Amino acid sequence: MKDNKNTPIWLKASAVYVSSLMSALFVFITVCAFDGLVRSGPSLFGSVWNPEGGQFGIMPMIWASGLLSVSSLVMGWSFSVGCCCFIRGYGPKWMAKLLARILRIMTAIPTVVYGFASVFLLVPLIRNGLGGSGFSWMTASLVLSLLIMPTMVLSMDSAFRTIESETRLTSAALGFTREQNIAMVVLPASKQWMWSSALLGFGRAAGDTLIPTMLAGNAVQYANTPLDAMRTLTAHIGLVLSSDVGGTAYLSLFVAGGILLFVSISANILFRLVRRKSL
């Protein structure tokens, strides 16, 4: 911040450009969301979505978005921590290398591939094995956790790698094995990175549209068991937007979008606060 003088003008200009674009987006969504809020009134916070009947309840969608992103995050994050420990010390070297390579490849796989493969592989498995239609909270959550894993692992692992190489010799001198070093030294030391990777994962999980649209069934109801179908806010926006332009139903989508924006901003702020405290 002190070296402002030396910043090239084009860099400043692009920074101003990007931030003004972002704030324009915020203002646009807020204004439209307010319009939607006024027009659809209290019915917005009911649980019936029936635009023809003037009911625009998006509560089931909010519930579904929350449930799906948190459950995917918990699953994905736990696996990510496991993967990182495996790569940095617990697993045999060749397997660790293989796993790291696979995870790297996974970041490049388009979401639609996960969705499409799951429709033909995972959905029938869940339908025949556990019941229901197979399009459910559980299906979407399993795939979503897989989807957010590579990003989380890669961001966690960059911290793990640095800290591990910094501490390995010292811990070895103290008589720690590699595994003990990971568990006792590296894990606690990279706490803030684990938080920030959870933030990354949460953002992706809450914002993903394709996986819930293709796999969660999209029924407008409160999902109570993992086998129930659900419709997330993102899937809802996608489904209604594909056909409707204008009108109250359309404007109510901005409220849904505004809520998503609000959630991701508060998650960001929250995680930042936590991170600052841990520093």
Partner 1 sequence: MKRIVVSVMLAIILMASSAVAAPLDVFKGQKGNLDIAGGTAHIPVMKEAAKRIMSVNPDIRITVAGGGSGVGVKQVGEGLVTIGNTGRALKDDEISKYGLVSFAFAIDGVAVVVNPANKVDALTTQQVIDIYAGKIKDWKEIGGEPGAINVFGREDGSGTREVFTEKAINKGELAPSVNVVSSNGAMKTAVAQDKRAIGYVGIGHIDKSVKAPKFDGTVPTQENAANGKYKVTRNLYMNTKGEPQGLTKLFIDYIFSSEGAEITKESGYIPLPAKK
Asked whether position 238 contacts partner 1 by CB under 8 A, the answer is yes
Which among 22-30, 89-97, 100-108, 235-243 is the span making contact with partner 1, rule CB under 8 A? 235-243
217 within 8 A of 229, measured Cβ to Cβ: yes
Angle (CA) 86-198-203 rounded to 5° is: 135
Which among 65-73, 192-200, 214-222, 266-274 is the span making contact with partner 1, rule CB under 8 A? 214-222
Choose, by CB under 8 A, the member of 183, 219, 267, 274 that binds partner 1. Answer: 219
What's the token pair of residue 223?
A: 């999902």
Asked whether position 255 contacts partner 1 by CB under 8 A, the answer is no
Q: Phi and psi dihedrals of 205, rounded to 5?
A: -65, -40
Asked whether position 130 contacts partner 1 by CB under 8 A, the answer is no
Which among 142-150, 185-193, 231-239, 259-267 is the span making contact with partner 1, rule CB under 8 A? 231-239
Asked whether position 131 contacts partner 1 by CB under 8 A, the answer is yes
Inter-axis angle of helices 247-278 and 59-85, nearest 10: 40
Per this entry, what is the length of the chain? 279
Q: Phi and psi dihedrals of 55, rounded to 5?
A: -110, 125
Choose, by CB under 8 A, the member of 240, 259, 261, 267 that binds partner 1. Answer: 240
132 within 8 A of 227, measured Cβ to Cβ: yes
DSSP-derived 3-state class of residue 98: helix
Cβ burial, residue 72 (10 Å; 0-12/13-18/19+): buried
Amino acid occupying residue 138: M
Q: What is the DSSP letter of 50?
A: E
DSSP-derived 3-state class of residue 209: coil
Asked whether position 133 contacts partner 1 by CB under 8 A, the answer is yes
Nearest distance from C-beta of residue 217 to partner 1, angstroms? 4
Nearest distance from C-beta of residue 36 to partner 1, angstroms? 15
The residues in 50-109 that bind partner 1, with binding defined as CB under 8 A, are 51, 60
Which among 30-38, 159-167, 178-186, 236-244 is the span making contact with partner 1, rule CB under 8 A? 236-244
Residues near partner 1 (CB under 8 A) are 48, 51, 60, 119-120, 123-124, 127, 131-135, 213-214, 217-221, 229, 231, 238-240, 242-246, 249
